Amino acid sequence: MAADRPRIRRAPGLRFAKLLGTGSGRSFTVRDADPRRWGLLAVWDDEAAAASVPVVDGWRRFADEEWSARLRPLTARGLWSRREPFGRPTPTRWDGPVAAVTRARLVTRKAVRFWSAVPPVSADLHRSPGLRMALGIGEAPLGLQGTFSVWESGAALNAFAYDRAPHAAVVTRTATEGWYAEELFARLAVLSTAGTVDGVDPLIR
C-alpha cells in the first residue's frame, strides 16, 4: 500500500490524500493493526475527478470487500501535515448521518501517557448509542494516528463527544498535558455510501 503513494499524488483533480492503515483503535499501538484493511482519504476538485482512482482500481483486483463514502465537510479545525485538508467550511445544518475524522501527531516523549489514556475512551466509544462504525486510522504504525467513525446523526456524535465522562476526561487531559504536536478534528456529512464492512452496510441496521 505504501508503494501507491506516488501514484495517488499524480491523480488529476486531487487536492489532498492519505493512504491509511487501519485497526481497532482500542489502544493505538501496533497490536491493534489490521494489515488486511486499508483506507484512502481523499479530497477532490469535483465528483468527476473522484470517479476513478487508479490506486483503488488496483486494490479491487485482490480485495474481497470494499466500502466507500461520499462526504462533505461540515466543520473542521486543525492541521494534517501542516495543511487544512477540508478547508474552513461554514457550519451548516445536516440531519443525516455524519462521519468524524480525528488525526494527531504525538509528541514522542508523551506517547506512553497518551496510549495509557486511550482504552477507557475506546471502550466507551464502542458502546455509544448511534455509533455505526469506528476504525483506528494511521499513516504509520506509531505516532501518527486517528479515528474514522460514522454516526447515525450529529446528535449521537455530540452525545459521545461532550456528554460521556471518559471522552470528556481525555479532552481535558489533552489540553493540560499537550500530547499532540499537530491535530485535526473534522465532521462531515455522509452523502452516500456503497459496499460493506465485515459483510454489512454500517448504515443499515
What residue type is 79 in one-letter code?
Answer: L
- Split into its structural domains, the chain has a count of 1
Q: Which residues pair with 76 in a beta bridge?
A: 186
For residue 42, being part of any structural domain is answered with: no
> Which is nearest to 39 in space by CA: 99, 90, 95?
99
Confidence of residue 18 (pLDDT cuts 50, 70, 90): very high
What pLDDT is attached to residue 188?
A: 97
Question: Domain containing 133: what range?
Answer: 24-34+69-195
pLDDT tens column, 148-167: 999 999 999 999 888 777 77
For residues 91-101, give the mean pLDDT.
Answer: 93
For residue 18, being part of any structural domain is answered with: no
For residue 62, being part of any structural domain is answered with: no
Q: Which residues pair with 68 in a beta bridge?
A: 194
For residue 191, being part of any structural domain is answered with: yes
For residue 122, being part of any structural domain is answered with: yes
pLDDT tens column, 20-62: 988 876 655 566 788 889 999 999 999 888 887 878 888 988 9
Full-model pTM: 0.89
Q: Which residues in the chain belong to E strands, given as ranges?
A: 14-23, 33-44, 67-78, 98-106, 131-138, 144-151, 180-195
What pLDDT is attached to residue 75?
A: 96
Q: Are 14 and 49 in contact (CB under 8 A)?
A: yes
For residue 63, being part of any structural domain is answered with: no
For residue 57, being part of any structural domain is answered with: no
What pLDDT is attached to residue 64?
A: 94
User: What CATH number did the domain enclosing 170 receive?
Assistant: 3.30.70.100
For residue 7, being part of any structural domain is answered with: no
